[in-house]
Amino acid sequence: MRGPQVTPFHAGAIARRGAARLRAGLPFIPMHFGQPSAGAPAAAIAAAHRALDRDALGYDELVELRERIAAYYADTHGLAIAPERVLLTAGASAGLVAAYAAMFRPGDRVALLRPGYPAYRNTLCAMRLEPVEIRCGAEQHYRPTPAQIEALDPAPEGILLASPANPTGAMLDAPLLTALLASCRARRIRVISDEIYHGVGYGAPFVSALEIDPDAVVINSFSKLYRMPGWRLGWMIVPPAWAEQIHVYLTNMFLTPSTLAQHAALAAMDAREDLEHWVAIYGRNRARLIDGLAALGITRLLPPDGAFYLYADVGHLTQDSMQFCLRAVDEIGVGLAPGIDFDPDEGHRFVRFSFAVTPAEIDRALELLAGWLPR
């Protein structure tokens, strides 16, 4: 191979072992991947059936969906977003690739928060961009500070912020996000804001970067709140001057996102009662998991503001999070994500628990861990 080396998703090894257990008829609790275990809203599935019955489902982009997304920003954030600025993508990942390709040149430096979603860093490397990591530890509640951005020397060409963040669930409130974006503006750092967990929260308000900086590029997805990860559909909001060119990138790289998924997503956006029901379940799971882990001696974690993860320091149990997670899946059938996916430097003593599963699975996982962890 002549391309750059890219680190694999280590959680993928957990997924493969979990799948092997299921094929062998053994139980497996999937708390390793960041995906809801419940399927799409019933209204979305019904809309997909109707589309299959009446539509040829060729390459298409539904204007109605772009208009509905624009209406969401008006209703939720008080923003007037022209539908032409809404670009539909084959999942948030496609939006990330298109943003990197359109906004930067090979060799450009892009700042990321650590711990953070591994594909941010790995996709930069694959596209011959240079990741610049900003360490955001538990002592600062996994949030960056303006001083950290101002200390970057030289200033990077871009920065990727995420709120709520993966794996920590940390959110950037309006004062902090305003200060961060002011620092970026002063240093001419282009901002990409990953907002794919908006809507999945536990009391703190969601603030879009677009409320503060209309030139920020926002990435969002139907995979999390709308529980449609396998449908591979997301969107971007881009500055008006960039919309046409970034759309050209998307079309050349990915043609169009799934037409069937677009029909389903249009219905999912109006399934408010269903969506809120599952967010309430995540909230109860969050509380149950925090309490249950504390009873097992796992207390070095910060309750997440949003998303559906607990990022826990298990350094008193292991200094090798990958082996810890491999043993957990092999020995008790509980899938956890190793911290080295999110933090190559300090992740050896962290694991991520996803609580986007059923309450019964939370209880069973805690029961299994109680019998397995050393006392």
pLDDT at 147 over 90: yes
Residue-wise pLDDT tens digits, 21-62: 999 999 999 999 999 999 999 999 999 999 999 988 999 999
pLDDT at 149 over 90: yes
In the sheet that holds 130-135, the strands lie side by side as 86-89, 234-237, 217-221, 190-194, 158-162, 109-114, 130-135
Cα 5 to the chain's mean position, in Å?
Answer: 23
> Which H or E element spans position 235?
strand 234-237
pLDDT band, very low/low/confident/very high, at 1 (cuts 50, 70, 90): confident
pLDDT band, very low/low/confident/very high, at 75 (cuts 50, 70, 90): very high
pLDDT band, very low/low/confident/very high, at 374 (cuts 50, 70, 90): confident
Q: Collect all residues with Cβ–Cβ distance below 8 Å to 49 and sequence separation of at least 6.
A: none
For the chain, give the mean pLDDT: 97
Q: What is the pLDDT of residue 363?
A: 98
Q: Domains along the chain? A: 11-40+273-372 (3.90.1150.10), 57-268 (3.40.640.10)
Residue-wise pLDDT tens digits, 181-235: 999 999 999 999 999 999 999 999 999 999 999 999 999 999 999 999 999 999 9
Residue-wise pLDDT tens digits, 104-116: 999 999 999 999 9
pLDDT band, very low/low/confident/very high, at 70 (cuts 50, 70, 90): very high
pLDDT band, very low/low/confident/very high, at 296 (cuts 50, 70, 90): very high
Cα 159 to the chain's mean position, in Å?
Answer: 16
